[in-house]
Amino acid sequence: MTTTRRAVLADLPALAPLFDAYRRFYSQPGDVARAEGFLRERLQRDESVVLLAERDGAAVGFTQLYPMFSSVRTARLWILNDLFVAEEARRGGVARALLDAAASFAKDDGARGVMLETSRDNAPARALYRAAGWNEDASQWYSLAFG
């Protein structure tokens, strides 16, 4: 069973390798120390929210959200900037659990919605977002509105 929770500084040893794998997926050089430093700074400064997915006590995925505000809507929104699931845990509901956790977090935070962007050629992600109730528009932004 997959559980999700908000990550804390003590989670960095488990989280940093996942974040490093995420960066390598996007053709960045591997550097776990850099990944850990980046995450540490975001968490210490309260600049992002990282949700961690665990299965049988092991970290298997994460999502990172950044706050933003809409002047037109006069409301807070969240950007789901990063989502990653370890290869051995894929196709087991982890990504969906993270998406649902992100939506719950944002809604509980009083936000008006969550936004993300993915490339047009990322068919598996696009299918997941649609199945989770996210709306796709021509710019490839997906949004989940709460009101």
Question: What whole-number distance in Å separates Cα of residue 4 and Cα of residue 12?
Answer: 15
Q: State residue 147's pLDDT score.
A: 64
Question: What whole-number distance in Å separates Cα of residue 42 and Cα of residue 49?
Answer: 8
Boundaries of domain holding 56: 2-145
Where residue 127 sits, what CATH number does that domain have? 3.40.630.30
Top pLDDT among 145 and 105 is at 105
**Torsion, CA 5, CA 23, CA 82, CA 6, rounded to 10:** 20
Q: pTM value?
A: 0.90
Q: Burial of 1 by CB count in 10 Å (0-12 exposed, 13-18 middle, 19+ buried)?
A: exposed
Supply φ then ψ for residue 50, to 5 degrees.
Answer: -110, 125
Quick one: tokens of 1? 């069973």
8 A C-beta contact, residue 128 and residue 95: yes
Q: For the segment 39-82, what is each residue's pLDDT rounded down to a tens digit?
A: 999 999 999 999 999 999 999 999 999 999 999 989 999 999 99
Q: Look at residue 140 and tell me whether its pLDDT is greater than 60.
A: no
Supply φ then ψ for residue 41, to 5 degrees.
Answer: -65, -45
| Mean pLDDT for the chain overall | 92
Into how many domains does the chain fold? 1
